[in-house]
Amino acid sequence: MVLATRTLASIEHAAELFRNARRAVTLTGAGISTPSGIPDFRSEGTGLWSRDEPMEVASLSTFRTDPERFFKWFRGLAGQIYEAQPNPAHKTLAKWESAGLLQAVITQNIDHLHQKAGSKNVVEMHGTLSTLSCTQCFRQYGYQDYLQAFVVDGTMPICPSCGAVLKPDVILFGEQLPQKAWYEAQRFSRSCDLMLVAGSSLEVLPVAGLPMQAVDRGAHLVIINQSPTYIDVRADVVIAGDVAEIIPLIGEKVLDV
């Protein structure tokens, strides 16, 4: 991979900021998982919402009134997520946490790839596919016995206790963010001295406002994303590129020092 001189300088600057930070956090979006084969939602022509209307297939109202429609749409995506493996960006963030260089990962993703890579302190803003909850008795179940079977043969997951439909613990349109995760994300954002935004265009509120909370309290900001964001003008470093390539390069300079 041949990088421009400007990009190399930005990588060195980002590494320096990480070396000097004491309370670094990362905010990740779909762009950190697309290199692992998981499609994003909003990219023109390739994103899921360029083919499907989100309110028709992935809203809470659709799930409540027509769960079969939701699961029919969701089956292919769930299969891609379960087959996906962490890429070098996920693994680098896990190494930083293990080395004490990263306090937490705040993620907009539901794919559990950060945890697969070894990250321990992950704040999942949009829920997770690792569990399902009953829509009637509210018992919670691991994905292994229910969603995996659904991916294989299309059997809609049903609660063994009461017979109601099991809902994956992901946040659908029309559903509030998990309160605990939101409070944790705000706490990390407001107390960090460095925030890395990786693979997010920062278009979805309220999570998109977290970097502003960080910089307004004096934190440094590094952004790595393929497209511009609203807060690029406030960032110390902006690198337009693939996070699976750029983050490991920063990691080499941070961990070797």
Catalytic residues: 126
Residues forming beta bridges with residue 78, ordered by sequence position: none
> Which SS3 state, helix, strand or coil, does residue 171 take?
coil
Our CA angle for 120, 121, 123, nearest 5°, is: 130
> Which SS3 state, helix, strand or coil, does residue 168 take?
strand
Specify burial of residue 216 (Cβ count, 10 A radius: 0-12, 13-18, 19+). exposed
Helices (H) and strands (E) in the chain, counts: 10, 9
Q: Which of 4-22 are b and which e, b meaning 16 or more Cβ less than 10 Å from the residue's Cβ?
A: eeeeeebbebbbbbbeebe
